Every structure is written in C-alpha cells, then in structure tokens.
C-alpha cells in the first residue's frame, strides 16, 4: 500500500469506453527507443491502458532523430512539441525528444481518463507546442524536513538534513511530468543551514541520482543557491561578485558541481531580500551578482534564475513616500539589458506578495531587454493554507491575459513569458508549489486542482479554468457528470469568494502576522514593511497616484492613466491605488463602505453554499476524499465567519456608517 495517493494518475477502470480498438498499437517516431524518457512513456501507457481498459498495446518504433542541443527556450519548445495522429490500426506519437513522446503519451492517457472518444479527439492529428519553455515548480522545502509556507505535511525530499529518494520521488516526477512541468527547484530560496552544503560532496551522489530520475521524465533539476556560499562554506570573508577570490572560488565550485550533477539545469537565487545576503551588501548591482554566476555556469549550458523580490524590509512605515510596491521596478528597471543571456529574472505576479488580488507587477511590460519568468504561488500562504478552497487558475488566467502595452501587439504577460514578445533566449513560469508528504500531497484534495492546473496552464495557456477543473475532477475524483459539474461549480467561484471575505478592493494583508491565515485587520498595518490599508475615520486605501507614492506611473500608458485616476481605476484595485472616503461611489454604484459590508456577508454566505454543495456529494465520491474536504470546509466556514464579523465591525466602528440593509454588525 502506497503512502501517497495517485491523484490524476489513478487510471480508474472505465466500463463503457467508446472505442478502445485504436489503442492497441502505438507507432513512435522522432525520439529513439533507447531514450529513458521514451521507455517511461511506454511504461505509463502500459500501466494506464491496462488499468483503465484492460488492454495491452504493442509498440512499433519508426525512424528516429536526435533532439536539438538546448541552448535557448526555442530549442526547448522545438524538442518538446509533439504530434498525436491516427493510423489505420493504431496511434502515432511523434516528437524530436523523449520528453515530447512522454507528453504525447500523457495526452492520450488524459483523454482516455476523461472518457473522450479517441478517434474524434485525434481526427486530423493533434500537434501541441508548449506555451512556455520553462515550466517550473519551486519547493520552499528545508533540509530538516520542514516546508516554509507548507500546508501539506513535511517535505518528501528531506528527512534530518538527508535527501530522500523512494517510490514517492518517482511518482512525484510522473505526476508533474504528466501536466508538463519540466523544471523543479527542490530547496527553499531561503538557503540556510544544511542547504548551503547542497553544492558539496555531502549531497552530490543523491542529487545526481535525483537528477537522473527527473531527467527520465523530462524534468530538469535546479537548486536554490546561497549567494554567500563563499563565506558560509568557502571560508572566504566576502561574497563580493567583483572580487577575484570570490570569482575563482565559484569557478572551482561550479566545475565540481556540474561534474558531479551533470543533469543540473542551473540555480535559483534570492539575494538582498528579507535579510538574505547579496550584491547590495557590497555596493554592487543585482546584475553584477547574477552575471558573475551566469558567466561561470554558461559553459555547462546552465542558467541563473534571479528573483526580483527585493525591497527594503527595514523601511519605516511612517515615511509616507516609501512604498514597498515600488521596490521591484525601482530596483530592477534601471538594469534592463545589463543581464547576460543565461540570466532570467523571476518576477512575482504582483508588486507585493501573492495577495488574493494585486495589480500586475510593472516589471512585466517594463523590462524589454531582459529574460523574464513569472512567479506565482499555489502554496496558499495568503489564500487559505489549503484549508479554505481557493482555485487559483482563474487568477492566473487574468494575470496571463493582462495587456502591458509594451508593444502594439503580443504584449500580454502570456506573450512576454512565452518568449513571443521579445524573442527572449529563455523565459517561462514558476509556481511556489503546494506539495508535501500528506497522503493527498496538497492538504486539501481540492488544492490538487492548483498543482494540476498550474502545470496544464503553463503548458497550454489557452486552456480555460473550467476545462482544467473538469479534467482534474474526472481524473482525480470521479467522471460522474453530476459529481464533475458540482465540484467544478465549487472550484470556479472559490477565489472570488475568498477575496470577498478577506479583502476589499485590492486591500490585502489583513491577516494574522507571520502566519498569514485568519483575520487581523491591523496586524501588519503598523509593521515596518509599510502600511496596507491606511484606514481612518473618513476613508481607506493607499494613495499610489502621482499625488501619492507615484507607483501608478510605473505602468505603460494607458494603464498608468487608468490606475492614476480614481474615477477610471477598476473597482477591484481602487483601494490599492487610492485613499478614498467610505462614501466614494464605485463603478458598481455602491459606496466603498457598503461594498465592504455586502462582500463580507456575501463571502460568508457563498462559502456556506459551497460547503452544502460538497455535503450533497456524500456517498458519491471516495469516502477518504469526502471526509478530507468536508473537515476543511468546517474550518473554512469558521474562518469566513470570523473575517466577515471582524472586518465589518472594524470598518463600522471606524466609519460610523451603518449598513444600508440593517444587518447585525457587532
């Protein structure tokens, strides 16, 4: 008995499948039979088709060619593109690489698992080219087994500072490869203690083995790097990127690392952020820091992914001009074009920190000559800790579809991170993952939709939130139409509902400090990191217009003028950009204060309805899944009730303005 669920690779038996005759033979061309990824694709097809349909297919290998050497995002896409087409007596899978054959195999298994008719699905052939070259998960796993912002148990990569490789490791590679993930950073960006020694002999053998397992599923291994390694493990007294001793230490170190871990794709670096050391410590620029490492790893075909989460976390909230939201743009725009071509800047979707709603970071659409990756979070740090249901794919669709006006066309975030807008050498998308060693991997079974969905969306940004949700439910829970439609109708509105009872109007952060779950309206308000709602007896919100911190002007036109004007700014962000009286009329026709009351009562009521809908599924879904989600709904309703009561009471007491509908506010 496994200690973990199969999730969307459960391959449940399908009784009345339309026509399985075409699935008895597979023709494989492009990648060679000796490729271990092709071998894994065949194993997967055998496992899945036997389990779902009781058939044992044959495999015929046709002409094969070698994949192109990957020196750019375009090379990756050329290799990973695949085609599935119909033959007289079988199905043809073709791709330049083993990874492409594996994705093709999972494409077939997904369609069978969703009980779609295969001949119809693949009539005329289906060629899929991934939307993004790099599709990565970032684990904030610590080597002691804990997970920073982890809500699904302990790390399955580490126990007591040792790397674990077991059946779950392989199943993890299968799960994420099945949704097209091709890169994993296995350790916390806050690299500390034993993690600083990841790049030493102590861990090389295990990392090499882990890299081989991942490579067999088309996944590159990456490591988070301690920028101050020269000091912490190198015995030097400096980490200055321009210091010759530092440079030569890194040269020797990287030669050793890439010799011992040949599959390593590169490093993720968090520097000069929240107390982490970095180039600023030595009066150098972020580009100095990134380029020094990039130049050294280039000969190994590796990349440096450099996070833009840099802000002055010692700022004084009383300084009305200091604005944490400005920091990313102010720190990184001046060096646009200074980064070498195997450096990628990894940019959080918003200027603050993964709130339930933020404007899009102005770096996306600001930077024109720098490789960029988008960083989103499926670990529900501020969005419910995988207790509250919060399906984030609709939010990611909004982010990807946002027009930056950096160019006349092909200017959306999706265009930029795909490499389409600027023809970048490297680009892509990463998610801080929500996994852990819980039996169901993600705490709440329904949070699995965020892991599944992130992968599917990263691979194909044209997919809809609804289609992704449907696939997830059919493959992981049940293909029963009534069950599918009910659970999809729980997932789709859940982000808006969470926003209703925890926001309003672009105001986040009213969370328990440090924990980031549960309501505390002023918890962060007077924290050194800046104020977040600036509520007084007359109004609420932060003035980020040209009359305030000027953040709104970091955007390209027409976005800057829209955000800068309280009468044009969209309601859902108006308090992020402006300080407005409680009586201000929104586009919706409501006043700010009535919007606060209405959304918090609605949010709680709608969360109750989701829970009731789930209750109606008792006996129709696996008991273990039913109980897991049901227990979390109980906690979510208590949470939503607290938020509703505390936020409404706070703003009623602050404003003195009664609820138009006369509801009980304490």
Comparing CB distances to ligand GCW, the nearer of 271 and 335 is 271
Q: 90 is written with which tokens?
A: 């079988």
3-state secondary structure of 163: strand
On whether the CB atoms of residues 342 and 298 are closer than 8 A, the answer is yes
Among the listed residues 381, 424, 470, 543, the single catalytic one is 381
Please name the helix (run of DSSP H) or strand (run of DSSP E) that holds residue 377, with its range, or none: strand 372-377
Rounded to 5°, the CA angle 100-103-108 comes to: 130
Residues 6+ apart with CB under 8 A from 579: 534, 539, 540, 541, 542, 543, 548
Residue nearest to ligand GCW (CB): 353
Rounded Cα gap, residues 25 and 18, in angstroms? 17
Comparing CB distances to ligand GCW, the nearer of 348 and 595 is 348
Question: Shortest gap between Cβ of 232 and ligand GCW (angstroms)?
Answer: 18
Question: Shortest gap between Cβ of 189 and ligand GCW (angstroms)?
Answer: 5
Is residue 499 part of the annotated active site? The answer reads no
DSSP category for residue 572: G
On whether the CB atoms of residues 488 and 617 are closer than 8 A, the answer is no
Question: Shortest gap between Cβ of 293 and ligand GCW (angstroms)?
Answer: 18
Residues 6+ apart with CB under 8 A from 200: 233
Q: Residue 214: which region, alpha, beta or left (left: phi > 0; alpha: psi -120 to 50)?
A: alpha
Is residue 572 part of the annotated active site? The answer reads no
Among the listed residues 353, 420, 527, 645, the single catalytic one is 353
Is residue 274 part of the annotated active site? The answer reads yes
Q: Tokens 């770096």 map to which residue?
A: 363
Residues 6+ apart with CB under 8 A from 590: 598
Comparing CB distances to ligand GCW, the nearer of 192 and 260 is 192
Please name the helix (run of DSSP H) or strand (run of DSSP E) that holds residue 431, with its range, or none: strand 428-432
Rounded Cα gap, residues 576 and 531, in angstroms? 11
Comparing CB distances to ligand GCW, the nearer of 529 and 604 is 529
Among the listed residues 274, 482, 567, 660, the single catalytic one is 274
Comparing CB distances to ligand GCW, the nearer of 381 and 496 is 381
Residue 179: asked if its preceding bond is cis (omega within 30°), the reply is no
**Interface with ligand GCW (CB under 6 A):** 140, 148-149, 189-190, 270, 274, 309, 353-354, 381
Comparing CB distances to ligand GCW, the nearer of 298 and 324 is 324
Question: Shortest gap between Cβ of 516 and ligand GCW (angstroms)?
Answer: 7
On whether the CB atoms of residues 581 and 592 are closer than 8 A, the answer is yes
Rounded to 5°, the CA angle 553-363-384 comes to: 100
Rounded Cα gap, residues 395 and 59, in angstroms? 41
Long-range contacts of 469-475 (CB under 8 A, 24+ apart): 469/391, 469/393, 470/114, 471/8, 471/110, 471/114, 472/8, 472/448, 473/449, 474/113, 474/114, 474/115, 475/7, 475/8, 475/9, 475/10, 475/110, 475/113, 475/114
Comparing CB distances to ligand GCW, the nearer of 149 and 590 is 149
Question: Shortest gap between Cβ of 531 and ligand GCW (angstroms)?
Answer: 18
Question: Shortest gap between Cβ of 375 and ligand GCW (angstroms)?
Answer: 8
Question: Shortest gap between Cβ of 211 and ligand GCW (angstroms)?
Answer: 23
3-state secondary structure of 179: coil
Question: Shortest gap between Cβ of 588 and ligand GCW (angstroms)?
Answer: 31
Comparing CB distances to ligand GCW, the nearer of 19 and 274 is 274
Question: Shortest gap between Cβ of 214 and ligand GCW (angstroms)?
Answer: 22
Q: 269 is written with which tokens?
A: 């670096």
Rounded Cα gap, residues 97 and 150, in angstroms? 34
Comparing CB distances to ligand GCW, the nearer of 5 and 430 is 430
On whether the CB atoms of residues 387 and 639 are closer than 8 A, the answer is yes
Sign of CA dihedral 603, 606, 611, 617: negative
On whether the CB atoms of residues 62 and 29 are closer than 8 A, the answer is yes
Comparing CB distances to ligand GCW, the nearer of 360 and 596 is 360
Rounded Cα gap, residues 577 and 502, in angstroms? 18
Comparing CB distances to ligand GCW, the nearer of 67 and 328 is 328
Neighbours of 206 (CB within 10 A): 16
Comparing CB distances to ligand GCW, the nearer of 354 and 577 is 354
Task: Count the helices and strands in the chain (H runs, E runs).
Answer: 20, 17
Q: 661 is written with which tokens?
A: 């509908």
Q: Tokens 């050329």 map to which residue?
A: 78
Rounded Cα gap, residues 211 and 66, in angstroms? 21
Question: Shortest gap between Cβ of 190 and ligand GCW (angstroms)?
Answer: 5
- Active-site annotation, residues: 274, 353, 381
């Amino acid at each position: 008995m496994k200690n973990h669920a199969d999730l969307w690779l459960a391959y449940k038996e399908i009784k009345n499948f339309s026509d399985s005759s075409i699935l008895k033979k597979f023709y494989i061309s492009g990648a060679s039979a000796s490729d271990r990824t092709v071998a894994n694709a065949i194993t997967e097809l055998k496992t899945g088709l036997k389990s779902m349909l009781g058939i044992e297919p044959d495999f015929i290998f046709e002409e094969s060619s070698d994949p192109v050497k990957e020196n750019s995002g375009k090379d990756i896409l050329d290799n990973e593109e695949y085609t599935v087409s119909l033959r007289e007596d079988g199905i043809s899978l073709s791709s330049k690489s083993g990874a492409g054959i594996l994705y093709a195999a999972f494409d077939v298994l997904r369609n069978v698992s969703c009980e779609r008719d295969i001949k119809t699905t693949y009539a005329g052939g289906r060629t899929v080219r991934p939307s993004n070259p790099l599709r990565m998960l970032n684990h904030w796993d610590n080597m002691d087994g804990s997970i920073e912002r982890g809500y699904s148990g302990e790390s399955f990569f580490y126990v007591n500072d040792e790397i674990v490789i077991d059946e779950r490791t392989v199943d993890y590679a299968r799960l994420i490869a099945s949704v097209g993930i091709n890169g994993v950073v296995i350790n916390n960006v806050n690299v500390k203690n034993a993690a600083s020694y990841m790049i030493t002999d102590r861990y090389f053998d295990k990392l090499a083995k882990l890299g081989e397992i991942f490579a067999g599923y088309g996944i590159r291994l990456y490591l988070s790097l301690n920028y101050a390694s020269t000091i912490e493990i190198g015995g030097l007294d400096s980490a200055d990127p321009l210091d010759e001793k530092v440079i030569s230490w890194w040269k020797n170190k990287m030669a050793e690392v890439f010799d011992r871990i040949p599959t390593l794709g590169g490093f993720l670096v968090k520097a000069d952020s929240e107390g982490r050391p970095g180039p600023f410590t030595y009066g150098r620029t972020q580009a100095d820091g990134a380029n020094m490492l990039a130049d050294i790893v280039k000969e190994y075909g590796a990349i440096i992914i450099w996070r833009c989460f840099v802000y002055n976390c010692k700022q004084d909230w009383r300084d009305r001009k200091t604005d944490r939201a400005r920091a990313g743009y102010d720190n990184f725009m001046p060096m646009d074009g200074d980064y070498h071509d195997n450096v990628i800047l990894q940019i959080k979707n918003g200027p603050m920190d993964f709130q339930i709603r933020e404007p899009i970071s102005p770096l996306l659409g600001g930077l024109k000559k720098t490789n960029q990756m988008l960083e989103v979070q499926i670990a529900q740090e501020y969005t419910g800790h995988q207790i509250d249901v919060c399906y984030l794919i609709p939010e990611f669709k909004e982010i990807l579809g946002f027009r930056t006006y950096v160019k006349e066309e092909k200017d959306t975030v999706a265009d930029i991170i795909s490499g389409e807008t600027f023809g970048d050498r490297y680009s892509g998308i990463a998610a801080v993952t929500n996994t852990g060693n819980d039996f169901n991997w993600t705490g709440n079974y329904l949070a699995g939709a965020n892991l599944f969905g992130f992968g599917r969306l990263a691979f194909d940004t044209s997919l809809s939130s609804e289609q992704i949700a449907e696939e997830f439910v059919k493959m992981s829970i049940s293909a029963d139409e009534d069950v599918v439609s009910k659970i999809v109708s729980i997932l789709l509105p859940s982000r808006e509902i969470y926003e209703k009872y925890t926001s309003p109007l672009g105001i986040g952060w009213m969370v328990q400090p440090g924990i980031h779950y549960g309501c505390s309206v002023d918890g962060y308000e007077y924290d050194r990191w800046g104020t977040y709602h600036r509520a007084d007896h007359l109004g609420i919100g932060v003035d980020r217009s040209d009359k305030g911190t000027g953040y709104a002007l970091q955007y390209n036109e027409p976005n800057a003028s829209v955000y800068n004007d309280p009468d044009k700014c969209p309601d859902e962000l108006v308090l992020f950009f402006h300080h407005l009286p409680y009586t201000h009329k929104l586009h919706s026709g409501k006043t700010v204060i009535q919007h606060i009351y209405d959304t918090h009562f609605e949010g709680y009521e709608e969360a109750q309805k989701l829970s009731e809908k789930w209750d109606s599924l008792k006996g129709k879904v696996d008991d273990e899944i039913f109980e897991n989600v049901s227990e979390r709904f109980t906690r979510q309703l208590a949470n939503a009730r607290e938020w509703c009561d505390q936020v409404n009471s706070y703003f009623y007491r602050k404003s003195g303005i009664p609820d138009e509908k006369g509801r009980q506010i304490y």
